[in-house]
């Protein structure tokens, strides 16, 4: 029984190009109580591999979190399979605003302790006891209310390139960092303010909404479907779009444009730019914002040191990396002393939150 990829990413890329068929980039999640995540994982892998689904999927006792790419011609079969699973029947599917046939090049279905790492060890916390979900129209009304606290539940490198007007954007590296920080900073408003949250597709907000209800917040709301579905709704219904800039996404695209506003700056020269790249030095791979001019000047590297290493023959680079832990700065996205413009010059820094 084959429960792993048999093709490399490069081999798969070639096959996709040869096939010339449209693929859809989709994401969905569902909090549920899964008794045996390992068996469930195997079932999903076999079914989706047969449908040529590619992507990154996490399964845990608390549910499933999926970001994937499926051939358009297999979409109905894929949806039929989802509907055959009781807790996934009619689950909301977020279809990407901007499509890319190569958004994912492997099928990875992994069992994790949680589908969203939260750092919480509270057995009395029920993730399915969530806050009130609202659509784009109600969301717009809520965030215009002076009694509303609008909080971005994403990380600093995500909100830097795009966020809602007047949102609180915590200057954090991970979701687990934000939960207690936000609770502490907003604790005096538990009784009388509306706590409204948003994220990319809704999964982080849903867990956060349940957590903040557990912590005593009385009026907790989240944007249904996150930024992805909000963009679709405002266009379909002709609503005012209160989002500014790009929505960061966790696939090869790294972002999809929601509005033409460019609110971020190149981390190397400070010019307006919201294009994320990874440092070309494989021993670094730092995620940062780089404009085309700096990309050409720096050979797509984040620093002179990385540029010098990247210029070496491949075998020399491998020798330098040999025996060392890959210094992939996964938790230091956009944070490096080599980057002179890590945030917009206009950024006002507060003790915990940054307000852009």
Ordered domains of the chain (ranges, CATH): 9-111 (3.30.70.100), 132-239 (3.40.250.10)
- Calculate the alpha carbon distances from 137 to 141, 218, 234, 258 in Å: 7, 22, 8, 17
What pTM does this model have? 0.77
Active site residues: 199
Confidence of residue 6 (pLDDT cuts 50, 70, 90): low
Residues 87-116 pLDDT 10s = 999 998 988 877 778 888 899 999 999 898
**Which residues partner with 94 through β-bridges?**
27
pLDDT at 206 over 50: yes
Residue 349 has pLDDT above 50, yes or no: no
Containing H/E element for 245?
Answer: strand 243-248
When pLDDT is cut at 50, 70 and 90, the band that residue 344 belongs to is very low
Confidence at residue 352, expressed as pLDDT on a 0 to 100 scale: 45
State the pairing for strand pair 132-134/220-223.
Answer: parallel
Query: Per the structure block, which two tokens stand in for 344?
Result: 């917009």
């Amino acid at each position: 029984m084959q429960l792993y990829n048999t093709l490399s990413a490069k081999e798969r890329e070639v096959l996709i190009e040869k096939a010339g068929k449209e693929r859809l980039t989709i994401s969905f999640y569902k909090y549920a109580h899964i008794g045996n995540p390992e068996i469930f994982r195997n079932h999903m892998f076999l079914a989706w591999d047969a449908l040529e689904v590619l992507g990154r999927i996490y399964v845990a006792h608390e549910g499933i979190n999926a970001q994937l790419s499926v051939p358009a011609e297999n979409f109905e079969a894929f949806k039929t399979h989802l509907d055959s699973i009781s807790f996934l029947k009619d689950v909301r599917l977020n279809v990407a605003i901007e499509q890319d046939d190569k958004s994912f090049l492997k099928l990875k279905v992994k069992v994790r302790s949680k589908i969203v790492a939260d750092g919480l060890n509270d057995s009395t916390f029920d993730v399915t006891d969530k806050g009130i979900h609202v659509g784009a129209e109600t969301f717009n009304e809520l965030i215009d209310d002076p009694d509303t606290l609008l909080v971005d539940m994403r990380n600093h490198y995500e909100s830097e390139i795009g966020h809602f007007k007047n949102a609180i954007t915590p200057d954090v590296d991970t979701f687990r960092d934000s939960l207690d920080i936000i609770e502490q900073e907003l604790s005096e408003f538990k009784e009388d303010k509306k706590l409204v949250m948003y994220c990319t597709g809704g999964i982080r907000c849903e867990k956060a909404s349940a957590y903040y209800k557990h912590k005593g917040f009385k009026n907790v709301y989240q944007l249904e479907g996150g930024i992805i579905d909000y963009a679709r709704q405002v266009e379909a219904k002709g609503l005012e779009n209160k989002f500014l800039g790009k929505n960061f996404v966790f696939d090869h695209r790294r972002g999809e444009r929601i509005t033409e506003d460019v609110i971020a700056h190149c981390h190397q020269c400070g010019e307006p730019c919201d294009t994320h790249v990874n440092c070309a030095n494989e021993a670094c791979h730092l995620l940062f914002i780089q404009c085309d001019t700096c990309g050409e000047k720096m050979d797509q590297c984040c620093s002179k040191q990385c540029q010098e290493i990247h210029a070496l023959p491949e075998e020399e680079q491998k020798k330098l990396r040999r025996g060392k832990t890959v210094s992939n700065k996964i938790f230091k996205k956009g944070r490096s002393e080599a980057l002179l413009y890590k945030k917009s010059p206009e950024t006002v820094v507060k003790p915990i939150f940054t307000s852009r």
